[in-house]
């Protein structure tokens, strides 16, 4: 996968991508990222499971 400026992946002990870090200084005003984070917050308040890869 091609690297994208401001997006970093962290792998787990098995070498699988597990986490993503997003530079909010670069993408903080991006509506899609805001929508994604809003959906995660809604799920957390409903007591639902978090999204996983």
| pLDDT, tens only, 1-53 | 688 899 999 999 999 999 999 898 888 888 888 898 888 888 877 765 556 65
For 9, list phi and psi in degrees, rounded to 5. Answer: -105, 140
Considering the domain boundaries, does residue 52 fall inside one?
no
Considering the domain boundaries, does residue 2 fall inside one?
no
Q: What is the pLDDT of residue 34?
A: 86
Could you list the residue range(s) of the whole structural domain that residue 16 is in?
7-46
Total-model pTM: 0.56
Distances 24 to 27, 33, 50, 53 between C-alpha atoms, Å: 5, 9, 21, 21
Considering the domain boundaries, does residue 51 fall inside one?
no
Q: What is the pLDDT of residue 16?
A: 94
Q: What is the pLDDT of residue 51?
A: 62
Considering the domain boundaries, does residue 53 fall inside one?
no
Considering the domain boundaries, does residue 23 fall inside one?
yes
**Residues contacting 51, CB < 8 A, separation 6+:** 39, 40, 43
Q: What is the pLDDT of residue 15?
A: 94
**Residues contacting 43, CB < 8 A, separation 6+:** 49, 50, 51
């Amino acid at each position: 996968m091609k690297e994208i400026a401001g997006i970093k992946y962290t792998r787990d002990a098995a070498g699988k991508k597990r986490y993503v870090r997003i530079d909010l200084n670069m993408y903080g005003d991006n509506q899609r990222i805001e929508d994604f984070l809003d959906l995660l917050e809604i799920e957390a308040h409903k007591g639902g499971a978090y999204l996983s890869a």
